Amino acid sequence: MHAHTTIQFLVQRAEALAQRRNRKDRKPGWLTQFINETADLFEPETEAARVGFECHFDEAAWRVHFYLGDAEHFGGMLDGKRQRIAFDFDLKQLLDRFELVESLRNRILSADEGDERSTVIEITGVLSAEFGGQRLTVGVLSRPPREAGPGVRIHPNGAIEAI
């Protein structure tokens, strides 16, 4: 296979994935606003980090889980090694977005579930009028899901780049 053929294939594949992602994005406007504003509550201990989320409609309500992407070393002796990025998250500000909190849970997920998550703080309730008074379950994961790619790259010179 020629190099230009490989590049063309990768470009076509990326375009197809982007089109599928756009078709699948059926989130209502209030949820998109909530996701964008809640992502700002993460305070990573690095100069750059990327917040990810999983979102789906579940039994008459939306569910969204947030996580901070891992850092991946790019080049040098540690090339490809991933590491967690420590962070603070302002739970009080998250709670303030709810008009009514029905449940507040801290779950420890067992390792035999086959998932990389270890803990999740989950809130279920009704959001404030700013978000349309909608019912929502929101979680903050202590680590990203296994299938999530890295959020940032760490170069051999120590520079951190968001991906």
Looking at residue 20, what is its pLDDT? 59
Could you tell me the mean pLDDT of each successive run of 10 residues in the chain, 163 residues long? Answer: 59 67 77 97 90 93 95 91 92 98 90 62 97 97 88 90 86
Q: Exposure string (b/e) for 126-154, b if CB count within 10 Å is 16 or more?
A: bbeeebeebebbbbbbbbbeeebebbbbb
Give just the sign of the alpha carbon dihedral 108, 114, 117, 123. Answer: negative
Q: How many helices, marked H, and strands, marked E, lie in the chain? A: 3, 11
pLDDT score, position 129? 97
- Predicted local distance difference test score (pLDDT) of residue 121: 96
Q: Which of 65, 41, 55 shows the shortest CA–CA distance to 117?
A: 65
Q: What is the pLDDT of residue 112?
A: 55
